[in-house]
Structures are given as C-alpha cells and as structure tokens.
Structure 1
Amino acid sequence: MSETTTAIVTGSSSGIGLDIARAFLDQGANVVLNGRDGDRLAKAAAGLGHPHRIAQVPGSIGAAETGEALVRAAVERFGGVDVLVNNAGTFASKPFTDVTEEELDGYLNGNLKGTYLTTQAVVRRLREQGRGGSIVNIGTVLVDHALAGFPASAPVMSKGGVHTLTTSLAAELAAEDIRVNLVAPGIIRTPLHTGADVDSFGGIALLNRVGEVSEIAEAVLYLAGAAFITGHALRVDGGHVTGRR
C-alpha cells in the first residue's frame, strides 16, 4: 500500500473493521471509515491518528445512500478509491426456531444486502477510473463447517450469500481487472464475544487457540494487494475447517 491507495472499510468503528483500517493506515494508505454510530466512529478515528488520511462516513450500509456517500467521500477527499473491504455486519447465536422475522431481515439487510449495495457503488466508481481495483469481503468458516453447539442459521445464511456473491463477481468483473476475494474468519477475539469465555472455543481449531483481529487484518491486506488472486476464500481459522485435534 502507499499514500496513493485509498481503502473503504465498512463497519470500522470497532473490532475486526477497526483493526483492518489501522493496518491500511500503517501501510501508508488513505482510509474511509464507516459505522452506524457517528459519535463512536469519530472516537475510533481519533484513536487511529493520521487525521489527514482518514475520512468518516456514518450510516448503515443497508441503505444504498451510505455506499454512495462512502464513494463520494473517497473521491472528494482522496481523489478516488482502490480497495473496498465489506466488513460491516452482525452475527450472533440463536436456535433456528427462536429467530424472529425481524432478526432474519436484519441479518439479510445488514450482512448481504448491505454488502451488495456498497459493492455496486464502488464498482461503478472503479469502472469510471478504469484502473481496476480490489474488493475483499468478510465471510465465516461456519458456511463450510457449522458447529452444533453454536446455532447461527440466520447470520450464516446471510454470510453464505456473501460467499456466493464473491465467486460470482470475481467472474463478472475479472475482465476489468477488479478482483473480488473473501476472508473467512474462524473464532476471533472481538467485542462480539463480550461476556463470553472466547478462549474456551480455542480447542475446536488445530492450533488450539482463537484468532486475533490483527490476523484477519493481515489476511485482508494480503488479498487486497494480491494481483493474481480472485474468487478466493481465504480461511483464517487456525485449522478449524481442516481437521480436529
């Protein structure tokens, strides 16, 4: 990355998204931050430093205007956009028959529709620029390897759509040198697990530990710059899907 690279990172006011934004900034890139809570987003931006290389766009990615505002901020502040990281979304465990219609709609809108709409806005701009670009989506290894003790059918279904969208767009956009990849995290230590003994999940991975947000950020940076990789889902799961200890 360099000072000429501009990345949009959705859901970047905390957790994985915040560390992804920090990683891009550490590499010298400009970053457009996004989060639903404007005050929380401003606090996160202040903590990152580098104010001259940060723009902030509060709003839910489930609304098309948020994606358009993210692109507009990247263009007006930094002259364009090169990378989109679709990180924003929600995820929680709940038994299948207890999931309400409102909760189901929330996962589909926030995780899948939001990713779709934001990507549309960015791809339109990438086409105008005519120099290609990189899109990295955040999925989950639970799409490939579910856990009986962690029922999460609604969020996993919505993330499954993100996995499928990644493959489809990689094929559709390849001729324009727009690469589309995905990072599939395993169990990661994030604010989503507040109040839970997250380390107790470490035993499901071959490496016998949970992951850290910095390890997801490293994978995102790699795929963002990997010029000969598209349509790939990179599992960052300590061997969760590969086998058992």
Structure 2
Amino acid sequence: MPREPNPTHSLVMTNNEALTTNKVAVVTGASQGIGAATVAAYRKLGWNVVANSRTIASSNDPGVLTVPGDIADPAVGARIVETALSEFGRVDTVVNNAGIFIAKPFTEYTAEDFDAVTAINLRGFVVVTQKAVEAMLARGEGGHVVTITTTLTDHPVSALASVFASLTKGGLNSATKSLAIEYAKSGIRFNAVSPGIIATPMHPAETHEFLSALHPVGRMGAISDITDAILYLENAPFVTGEILHVDGGQSAGH
C-alpha cells in the first residue's frame, strides 16, 4: 500500500513502490543555476532527486521532492537526508552545491560575514554529508559525494578579493581528498568540481565582459559545463579524490 504523504514535504508521491527502485541524488542549492540544472540532469538519467534551497518551490514531478530550508541550520541538513530515506528509501549521491560567496578586501570582512560563510559552506557540507554517508554505509552498496568548490582556491585573481571563498572551499577540496581515502574501501567516492566563473543569474549581464576576460579561453563557463562534469564523475567509478577543474584554464595560469 502506498504510504500516506508527509505534509512537511513538497509534493505527494503517486507511485512510491516503483520510485524506490531508482537511484537517489540529493542536491543542495537547487532552486536555480547550477543546482536546478543538476536536478534536471539526474532526472534525465532516471534518478529520483531530493532538492533543497532556502526558498525552493514545490515540484509537480513525482521524482523530485523539494525540501525548503537554510542549509546553515543543522536540522535542515538532517531533514534533507531523512526525507530521501523516508520517501525514496536510499541515498546514492550527494551534490553539495549550496554555497555563499562574499567578495571583500580581507580587512573589511566582519564576524557576521565569517559566520555566514562558514555556516553554509562548511557546516552545511558536514551535516548533509555525514548523514548521507551514514545511510550509504548502512546499505553497504557504496555511494558518491560531489562538492562544488572554486578554482580561486588554486588561482587567486587580483581583481577579485575573496579570501573567505578560498578559506572554506579550499578546505572542502582537502576534505574531499581525505574522505576519498577514508571511505575508499567502503565503495563511497568523494570528488569535487572546481569551477571558474559560470554564467548564472548571480552575475549581471553588464559584468560578463569583465568576468570573461579572467579566463584564458576568453569566456565564462556555461551551467552545462558544470553539470557535464558532475555527470562525468557520476559515471567514473575508478575516480575518487579528484578535484576536477572546469575553469577555462584559470588554474593552469593566465
């Protein structure tokens, strides 16, 4: 018998028994840009998706369950994974896409800036990933965690003061490698995609010429460049601990 819908969830499942046979991806920061495109990419593979962001709208797609809430709140991170398990029965992949970017000269950062950046970029990553890895270990069939970082960790740009991005996202790159080794024998892979500047709604059109010039190839990245990289990693079972630069050559030099 189908389960009764949980009123805290964003859509009513119509065929839970069939959907639980599919793989399940969790995507944070999923309301627009790279996150929304990642949800669509996994759906095209036939996966079910649990999608989170602070103000994400409900979905009419029975394979997409939305969980609104601020990833900086540990209770939200736990609820995302609990939702995946209760409605779809498993978690196969987590895409840690949610993040905050505050560009300021170092001496102008405030304590509030630090708290905001670390809460989303670091604590959000830790809570969701911990809960998902616990579920993967319990099932004993492995899994995958992909984290979106930034090429600024390897190639700072003088025109863009952004040390808090390097501080947090650089830590996530290191954590990706450490976790890849810790869980290699459990079949859980950890990788990161390290983008250059991507043409998303956060960058106004009038900034595109300047931002394009920061890349050796002379253009900003497209959202599809990142989703293609995520899906490559998804389908590369011998790849773990990889920081995949998708940055138009930025990390190689300029």
In the other structure, the counterpart of 2:27 is 9
The question of whether the paired residues in 1 share the 8 Å contact of 2:74 and 2:123 is answered with: no
In the other structure, the counterpart of 1:216 is 226
Q: 1:241 to 1:229 in 2, by over 3 A?
A: same
In the other structure, the counterpart of 1:143 is 153
In the other structure, the counterpart of 2:139 is 129
Select the structure of larger CA radius of gyration.
2
In the other structure, the counterpart of 1:113 is 123
* 1-structure distance, mates of 2:114, 2:83: 31
The question of whether the paired residues in 2 share the 8 Å contact of 1:135 and 1:224 is answered with: no
In the other structure, the counterpart of 1:206 is 216
In the other structure, the counterpart of 2:171 is 161
In the other structure, the counterpart of 1:186 is 196
Unaligned runs of 5+ in 2: 1-20
Deviation at 1:242, TM superposition (A): 1.4
In the other structure, the counterpart of 2:40 is 22
Unaligned runs of 5+ in 1: none
Matched, 1:243 2:250: no
The question of whether the paired residues in 1 share the 8 Å contact of 2:152 and 2:165 is answered with: no
* 1-structure distance, mates of 2:136, 2:186: 9
Deviation at 1:195, TM superposition (A): 6.0
Matched, 1:176 2:194: no
More off after superposition, 65-74 vs 16-25? 65-74
CA deviation string 1:54-73 (max 9, x = no partner)? 11111122222222211121
Task: Tell me the percent identity.
Answer: 40
Deviation at 1:16, TM superposition (A): 1.1
Deviation at 1:203, TM superposition (A): 2.2
| One-letter amino acid matched to 2:38 | I
Task: Select the structure that is richer in helix.
Answer: 1
* 2-structure distance, mates of 1:155, 1:100: 14
* 2-structure distance, mates of 1:136, 1:87: 8
Matched, 1:55 2:73: no
* 2-structure distance, mates of 1:77, 1:12: 18
| One-letter amino acid matched to 2:33 | G
Q: How many residues align?
A: 235
* 1-structure distance, mates of 2:119, 2:235: 29
SS in 1 for 2:250: coil
Structure with more relative contact order (C-alpha pairs < 8 Å, separation 6 or more): 1
| One-letter amino acid matched to 1:91 | F
* 1-structure distance, mates of 2:223, 2:94: 18
SS in 2 for 1:75: helix
* 2-structure distance, mates of 1:220, 1:12: 14
| One-letter amino acid matched to 2:156 | A
| One-letter amino acid matched to 2:66 | Q
